[in-house]
Structures are given as structure tokens and as C-alpha cells.
Homo-oligomer: A and B are copies of this chain.
Amino acid sequence: MDHDNTRNLIRQTAPTPTEHPNVSPAVIRRLPRYFRYLRELIRQGKLRISSGELSRLMGVTASQIRQDLNCFGGFGQQGYGYNVNFLYENICELLGVDAGLQAIIIGAGDLGRALVRAPMFEKRGVNIVSMFDVDPALIGRTVGGVLIRNMTELERFCSEISVDMAVLTLPKDRAAEEAERLVACGIRGLWNFTGKELEFEDSKVAVENVHLGDSLMILNYKLCENTDDKD
């Protein structure tokens, strides 16, 4: 491995130039949580933190934190811990926060309009460049500063403006066909709220499914389980 012997205690360059194969899904799903906690630590003006201190804060083991972070390179330093800003910047890099990702929303119904107005995208460096719908009553309107275009304009729009991801909030029964169409337009990421399970053979297309119905049912289960308990 690389061992640049820096006399200054904290190395300020990433050890390897972002190449991370074979990182387990379990680790990846935990990264956003590190991102949030580090952002909060920065807000508090904290400069360094040890895996032990962070573990107490987050309610996980220090071992897990060190293992997780080591998947992506040595962000810490023996005897010192982790430089909060340096670690945060590296995690931002991993999560593409400063990659200038551009998104469109397919479907300007209740959920689409709720999402476009949420500060979530801006906070995470994702720029919403347009919404699309088939409803003439919606086309031409602006929600949260974003214009709703006719779905027929999709291909032309994507050929003119580089779009990285699409947020799918359209009806379930049209999800599969429109997803194919989006991929044909060169879009490589789908944030899928439709409830339809989408799959792409060539894993060039990243899909993140948000199945709210499933989430609700899990709550139902936990609730009934607690109730069933013969005190």
C-alpha cells in the first residue's frame, strides 16, 4: 500500500484516487449516516474525533466505524483519530455531493411536487433541472422554481441538457416503459418511488427503490407484534 511519510500529522490528500471495488452494500448504506453526523460535528466546530467518540455518538461500535472507513482508504491517523473536515470531504466525494449531478422528476403529481420543493436535493448537491408530466393541466406550470414540461419533450430535453438521474413518481403501470425510455436517453440513475420493481441487466444503470408501502407494512408488523405480547 501507499505510505507517504508526512511530517505534518494530518495528511490532506486522499490515499488512493477514488477506486473502490467490492465494498459491501451494508457499508454503502451506512455512508449517508456518517455524512450527516460529520456535517453536524463541523457545524459544532469540532476539529478531530476518534472512532470511540464517534461510536458513542452514533450508537455503533468503534470497530465498525474503523472497518467501514477503511474500505475507502486510511482517513485517520494512529494516536490522533480522524480530522473531521478531511473525513467529511472524503465522504462527500464518495457520495458525489460536489459532482454537480443533474436530475429530472418524472411525474408532477402530489409526490413529485412535494419532492421538488424539499431542500433535500440542494443540500446534497443534486440539481433539479426539469419536471415532466402528461397532464395538460400541469404542463407549463412551475413548482418550486422548476418548469413542468410535456413528457413528449423528454428526448429533446435530454439531448440538450446533461441529465444524470430521474426521480420516478409516475403511476406504477407506466414505470417500466418510461424507465426504458429514460435509460435510452442516457440517464444512468433512477430514484424509484413507483412501487414497481425495476431491474436492468447491464448494471450500468443505478436503481434505488423507495417502497413506501413496504415500509408502512413493516411498521404495521412491529405494531401488531407489540400489541400481541401478552403483557
Contact = CB atoms under 8 A, between A and B. Distances in A.
A43 interface: no
Oligomeric state, in copies: 2
Interface string A192-231: 0000000000011011101111111111111111111000
Given A31-B221, A97-B217, A191-B215, 14 more contacts: A19-B228, A31-B217, A32-B211, A96-B223, A97-B220, A113-B114, A120-B213, A124-B213, A124-B217, A126-B216, A188-B226, A206-B219, A206-B222, A208-B216
A165 interface: yes
A86 interface: no
A187 to B, nearest CB: 10
* SS class, residues of chain A in contact with chain B: helix
Interface string A114-155: 100110110111100000000000000000000000000000
Contacts of A70: none
